Amino acid sequence: MPGQDHHQLSEGEHPAVTRFRQYLQIRTVQPEPNYDEAVLFLEKIAKDLGLECQKVEVAPGRIVTILTWQGTDPKLRSLVLNSHTDVVPVFEEHWDHDPFEAFKDSQGNIYARGAQDMKCVGIQYLEAVRRLKAEGKCFPRTIHLTFVPDEEIGGNEGMELFVKRPEFRALRAGFALDEGLASPTETFTVFYSERSPWWLNVTSSGNPGHGSRFIENTAAEKLHKVVDSVLEFREQEKYRLESDPNLTLGSVTSVNLTILEGGVAFNVVPATMSASFDFRIAPDVDLKAFEERIKGWCQEAGEGVTYQFQQKWTEPRITAIDNSNPWWVEFSRVCKEMNLSLKPEIFPAATDSRFIRAAGVPALGFSPMNRTPVLLHDHNEFLNEAVFLRGIEIYVQLLPALASLPALHNEC
């Protein structure tokens, strides 16, 4: 099947599933995504659906594709449906099927990189729009579908740049939907905030010398103290999570030691060593105080211990999930009408929603995949076609409600 024509898949298949599988076959895999083919695919769909299509190059070769369905009242702020086109790398030897074949088994499970994260959602938006347009519907609010690059490597040449551009401001976004996670239970998770990623590198310098001696004040000793402090903090947060059933992973701060570097030979005590940590900081944490804590860990370890950030998100935002937010009221009302059970959570990792919220636009992370194991970034990522098709039905109900939300006080 590899190398086959993208347009010929299973006979008798639902056309939405066929389009989903065609999108999955486009190798937008990091670190060298084929974005050109993805943009062409989206342009073709835009033409097919009669949607306006705008391409914004935010960095060389990094294009945000915006498909627009104009609303009837231009005074009202728009609804933005965001998805990213890139997918994470694969270890093909661990897959039962070619991860870019979009193989469908007899149970209707579609195996492909991006099946859950998040090509499914991009196509579900489009197929819901297709259905609503075919029914002759139109709504007061404009709907923009944004397809962005590079989310999987931090969004620095994707959404982070896009929100600063006039083209983003021109969308006049009132509310956005973006990705969530699969849920193995009947319940759907919906995310209203995210933890802040802090990627920290700690460098320790100390006395070098011959590996046969008890050298005082070595880089390793001092680094060991920092690692101990961080891992002790990790245990405290882990205990807090495990001992309180009301907390989810996103409610606490996690940290992992991810890289250790240093040394040149077995018999040489190195002058410097370094450790890298991946912190994910809960949105209610005082970030200034937290950095003081990190500084304290380094100072306690001794002289010559410094730290620097590879990534440091300092603008956590929380989208209200109560009656103060009319978008949430409408979103949750429609879900209740469909008998969907919602579990609001703080997203444990990072998505492009953080840039959208920091730009002042409320956003919810929602991928309509329940009864599905969480396989984002995992081997044999799959989504069942029945779950995929039900997700389209969910958006067919959600989009009219959100795009018909009456004028808010700041829009009159």
Q: Which of 367, 400, 401, 363 is nearest to 163 (CA)?
A: 363
In a domain, 2, yes or no: no
Both 24 and 148 in a single domain? Answer: yes
pLDDT class of 126 with cuts at 50, 70, 90: very high
Q: Is 86 an active-site residue?
A: yes
| Token pair listed for 164 | 């600063």
124-142: average pLDDT:
98
H or E element in which residue 21 lies: helix 15-24
How many helices (H) does the chain have, and how many strands (E)? 10, 17
pLDDT, tens digit (0-9, with 9 covering 90-100), for 200-247: 999 999 999 999 999 999 999 999 999 999 999 999 999 999 999 999
Single out the catalytic residue among 127, 151, 345, 381.
151
pLDDT class of 7 with cuts at 50, 70, 90: very low
Both 320 and 307 in a single domain? Answer: no
Both 200 and 137 in a single domain? Answer: no
**Which residues sit opposite 309 in a β-bridge?**
200
pLDDT class of 410 with cuts at 50, 70, 90: confident
In a domain, 412, yes or no: no
Give the domain CATH number at 242: 3.30.70.360
Q: Is 43 an active-site residue?
A: no
**Alpha-carbon gap, residue 391 to 177, rounded angstroms:** 14
In a domain, 408, yes or no: no
Q: Which of 257, 292, 312 is the last residue of a domain?
A: 312
pLDDT class of 9 with cuts at 50, 70, 90: low
CA dist 20 → 4, 56, 113, 192, 383 (Å): 16, 24, 12, 27, 11
Both 156 and 19 in a single domain? Answer: yes
In a domain, 218, yes or no: yes
Tokens 């066929």 — which residue? 18
Angle, helix 219-243 to helix 287-301, in steps of 10 degrees: 140
Question: In this model, does residue 402 exceed pLDDT 80?
Answer: yes
Q: Which of 312, 342, 358 is the last residue of a domain?
A: 312
pLDDT, tens digit (0-9, with 9 covering 90-100), for 254-293: 999 999 999 999 999 999 999 999 999 999 999 999 999 9
Both 355 and 219 in a single domain? Answer: no
Mean residue pLDDT of the chain comes to: 96
Both 53 and 181 in a single domain? Answer: yes
CB 330, CB 140: distance < 8 Å: no
| Token pair listed for 395 | 């958006």
pLDDT, tens digit (0-9, with 9 covering 90-100), for 294-322: 999 999 999 999 999 999 999 999 999 99
Both 54 and 160 in a single domain? Answer: yes
25-38: average pLDDT:
98
**Looking at 3-7, 105-109, 152-156, which range is the least confident one?**
3-7
148-156: average pLDDT:
96
pLDDT of residue 411: 84
Q: Which of 404, 372, 307 is nearest to 115 (CA)?
A: 372
Q: Which of 150, 143, 5 is nearest to 64 (CA)?
A: 150
Question: In this model, does residue 6 exceed pLDDT 90?
Answer: no
Both 67 and 135 in a single domain? Answer: yes
Both 334 and 353 in a single domain? Answer: yes
In sign, the C-alpha dihedral spanning 195, 198, 199, 205 is: negative
Mapped onto helix, strand or coil, the DSSP state of residue 384 is strand
Q: Which of 312, 337, 357 is the last residue of a domain?
A: 312
For residue 114, the enclosing domain spans 15-194+316-403
Please, what is the end-to-end C-alpha distance for the chain in angstroms?
A: 55
Both 346 and 291 in a single domain? Answer: no
In a domain, 364, yes or no: yes
In a domain, 7, yes or no: no
Give the domain CATH number at 126: 3.40.630.10
**Alpha-carbon gap, residue 384 to 136, rounded angstroms:** 29
**Alpha-carbon gap, residue 29 to 149, rounded angstroms:** 11
Single out the catalytic residue among 86, 194, 352, 385.
86
In a domain, 229, yes or no: yes
In sign, the C-alpha dihedral spanning 127, 130, 136, 139 is: positive
Strands (E), 161-269: 173-178, 188-194, 196-205, 209-210, 254-262, 268-269
**Domain count of the fold of the chain:** 2
Question: In this model, does residue 12 exceed pLDDT 90?
Answer: no
Q: Is 24 exposed, middle or buried (0-12, 13-18, 19+ CB in 10 A)?
A: buried
Residue 228 CB-half CA count within 13 A: 8
Both 324 and 357 in a single domain? Answer: yes
| Token pair listed for 283 | 């949105």
pLDDT of residue 252: 98
Strands (E), 128-283: 143-148, 173-178, 188-194, 196-205, 209-210, 254-262, 268-269, 272-281
| Token pair listed for 381 | 């990522």
Mapped onto helix, strand or coil, the DSSP state of residue 370 is coil
The reported pTM is 0.92
Question: In this model, does residue 74 exceed pLDDT 70?
Answer: yes
Question: In this model, does residue 343 exceed pLDDT 50?
Answer: yes
In a domain, 8, yes or no: no
Both 186 and 204 in a single domain? Answer: no
How many other β-carbons are positioned within 10 Å of the β-carbon of residue 99? Answer: 25
Q: Counting every residue, how long is the chain? A: 412
CB 176, CB 82: distance < 8 Å: yes
